[in-house]
Amino acid sequence: MTETIIACDFASKEECLSFLEKFDGLDKKPYLKIGMELFYASGPEIVRELKKRGFRIFLDLKLHDIPNTVMKAMKVLSGLDVDIVNVHAAGTIEMMKAAKEGLTRPDGSRPLLIAVTQLTSTSEEAMQKQLLIDASIADTIRHYARNAKEAGLDGVVCSPLEIRLVKEACGEDFITVTPGIRFADSTTDDQVRITTPQKARELGSDFIVVGRPITAAQDPLAAYLRCQQ
């Protein structure tokens, strides 16, 4: 099953809570993604508030630092009781292992931990010319996904176009969380490696992350239900 995660990229807690009122009538609360903008504006308070209201949360802070710093930061985040957190795979296997160690609570439980391979806004040309990665984007993503698996992570964030190569390299159980989702009739914004919700499901995406096609829609609830369908 493919689940839709709404990217709540808002500048304040008030804006986010007022947006979420549109989903009040639903039997099952949507899965939400809280990213840097909202977290830096509202702090852990917004996470606690949304958890209290029964939302499942993907906390998308994309940690990338030295292993010790990431381990300690993850220890703090594990207390927030979110459902998914993430790091950049570019931080190395050692950093990803440290992230998992920090995230794991004394009773052995922890949120799902996934790694960003290459941002869906990064083209192969930019990756090669600016980041000096002398490989195709497909090979880079396959390699980063294998590193994440070796570090004991649960899955990766990748473009829907890379789901098959990730699952073939790491197994069908290895979770793929895919942003870069656009309806066939909507604008692409700054995203480059994109596809539609339906195609992402056909490719085996476990979670699609959808921001502006829902948050900036005339009717966000209808756009969300269209994704789910």
Q: Is residue 95 within 8 Å of residue 67, measured between CB atoms?
A: yes
Instruction: Give yes or no for a contact between 32 and 50, defined as CB atoms under 8 angstroms apart.
Output: yes
For residue 193, the minimal CB distance to ligand C5P (Å) is: 9
Cα–Cα distance, 3 to 19 (Å, whole number): 20
Distance CA 217, CA 149 (A): 36
Which part of the chain contacts ligand C5P (CB under 6 A), choosing from 64-72, 133-141, 205-213, 220-228? 205-213
Q: Which residue from 4, 78, 120, 176 is in contact with ligand C5P, where contact means CB under 6 A?
A: 120
Active site residue 62: yes
Give the one residue of 116, 153, 175, 223 binding ligand C5P; rule: CB under 6 A.
116
82 binds ligand C5P (CB under 6 A): no
Per-position b or e across 92-103, b if 16+ CB within 10 A of its CB: bbebbbbbbebb
x-or-dash string of contact with ligand C5P, 7-46, rule CB under 6 A:
x-x-------------------------x-----------
**What does each C-alpha distance from 41 to 13, 32, 88, 170 come to in angstroms?**
8, 17, 22, 36
**Contact status: 191 vs ligand C5P (CB under 6 A):** yes
How do beta strands 56-63 and 84-88 pair? parallel
Residue nearest to ligand C5P (CB): 211
202 scored as a contact of ligand C5P (CB under 6 A) = no
Any idea which residue has 């830096």 for tokens? 40
Task: Supply the residues annotated as catalytic.
Answer: 62
Residues lying near ligand C5P in the complex (CB under 6 A) are found at 7, 9, 35, 60, 116, 119-120, 157, 179-180, 189, 191, 209-213
